[in-house]
Amino acid sequence: MNVGIPQTPSRRIAKQFEDRLRSAPDRHLAARMSRLVSAIAKLVEEERVDRADLRALIRFATEVGHASDARRSEWVLLADTLGITSLVEQQVTRRPPGATPNTIAGPFYRTEAPARRDGESISIDGIGEPLVLTLQISDLDGDPVADALIEVWQANADGVYENQAPDLQPDGNLRGRFRSGDDGRVIVRTVRPKGYAIPSDGPVGELMKRLGLSPNRPAHLHFRISAAGFETLTTHLFDSEDPALDADPLFAVDPALVIRFDPCGAGGYETSHRFILARAHPGYEDT
Ligand code: BEZ
Ligand code: FE
């Protein structure tokens, strides 16, 4: 047996590919591509991929490309719904035990949300069931984090974000920027969020249908919390009563982010939540 020659076709292809990249100018790309080709070749062999499989895969990738344009990226949706986006997010924003988990931001974040005072409402059109959120921003020792910037955004009662359909809602509806007080607290008035479906009219939606996967995201609010000396926290809070909680197509649900909306007053709800920030460490870059 020749010990220098890999024994399976997949290993031979992987080895040849690696050898050909020996003098690649981009070393990092070459190393990554080498590992990728090796992993794919192994999978092709293990799964006994045939010509029809390969044609179907190429057809799917072509459709995903055709469904993408400047306003909609079907490729991003594919990465999201396969859990890759959430996995990358978790890897690049590791939090110490006890800190609030980071999640994906999603495509509807806007930097230019209206500045709001403590206790103000972010609902400009007033449509929906009133909700009062009492938020506490703390560090890992339980001490308050004062003057944190709390950005919040959510979909309306029809599950639509203001920047998704700008003619249907007032500019800046259901998004706002708040500051925590000296006690780390802030009160946000809004309306109870409703769940919504991610776009499912393209090839990714078709794939999900064939796999029996639901496009419904559980009802949630989005937050981005930043404060000097702390890692920026991008996260969600999810409604504990939403039936879609166990099957979020974007894999963002974490038990620490699930809250109950308690009835209060006439048709309204209230809840409180503590966000725990991790201290920034040197060289750490977060967005
Ligand atoms: C969102 O939760 O806002 C969202 C995230 C990714 C894709 C679609 C929507
Ligand atoms: Fe959302």
Together in a domain, 108 and 241: yes
Examine the domain organization and report whether 24 and 136 are in the same domain.
no
263 CA distance to ligand 1 middle (Å): 27
Q: Is residue 156 part of a domain?
A: yes
187 lies in some domain: yes
Report d(CA 191, CA 123) in Å as an integer. Answer: 7
Find the 190 Cα to ligand 1 centroid distance in Å. 19
Q: Are 112 and 250 in contact (CB under 8 A)?
A: no
According to the model, what pLDDT value does residue 2 have? 57
- Check whether residue 33 and residue 120 sit in a common domain: no
pLDDT at 286: 52
Using the mean position of ligand 2's atoms as its centre, give its distance from the Cα of residue 194 in Å: 10
Is residue 249 within 6 Å of ligand 1 at its C-beta?
A: no
Domain count, the chain: 2
- Examine the domain organization and report whether 22 and 101 are in the same domain: no
- Assigned domain for 108 exists: yes
The reply to whether 137 and 250 lie within a common domain is yes
Determine the pLDDT at residue 70: 79
On whether both 42 and 165 belong to a single domain, the answer is no
Q: Is 17 in the pocket of ligand 1 (CB under 6 A)?
A: no
Domain shared by 33 and 117, yes or no: no
CB 231 within 8 A of CB 286: yes
263 and 169, same structural domain? yes
Cβ–ligand 1 contact at 151 (below 6 Å) = no
How high is the pLDDT of residue 235? 97
Q: Is the CB of 198 under 6 A from ligand 1?
A: yes
**188 secondary structure, DSSP code:** E
- Identify the domain containing residue 15 by its residue range: 9-49
Task: Examine the domain organization and report whether 171 and 271 are in the same domain.
Answer: yes
68: in domain: no
Query: pLDDT (tens digit, 9 = 90+) per residue, 1-20?
Result: 556 777 899 999 999 999 99
* Shared domain check, 264 and 172: yes
Nearby residues of 253 by Cβ (< 8 Å), 6 or more positions away = 218, 236, 238, 245, 246
Same domain flag for 38 and 101: no
Q: Both 16 and 146 in a single domain?
A: no
Q: Which of 76, 250, 257 for mutating ligand 1's site (highest number of atoms within 8 Å of CB)? A: 250
In a domain, 131, yes or no: yes
pLDDT score of 5: 76
Query: Which residues have CB under 8 Å from 163's CB, separation 6+?
Result: 108, 110
Q: How far apart are CA 199 and CA 222, in angstroms?
A: 18
Q: Is 72 contained in some domain?
A: no
Question: Residue ranges of the chain with pLDDT lower than 70?
Answer: 1-3, 282-287
Tell me if 57 is assigned to some domain. Answer: no
Please indicate, yes or no, if residue 4 is contained in any of the structural domains: no
Ligand that comes closest to the CA of residue 248: 1
In short, whether 204's Cβ falls inside 6 Å of ligand 1 is no
CATH number for 194: 2.60.130.10
At a CB cut-off of 8 Å and minimum separation 6, what does 42 contact?
10, 11, 14
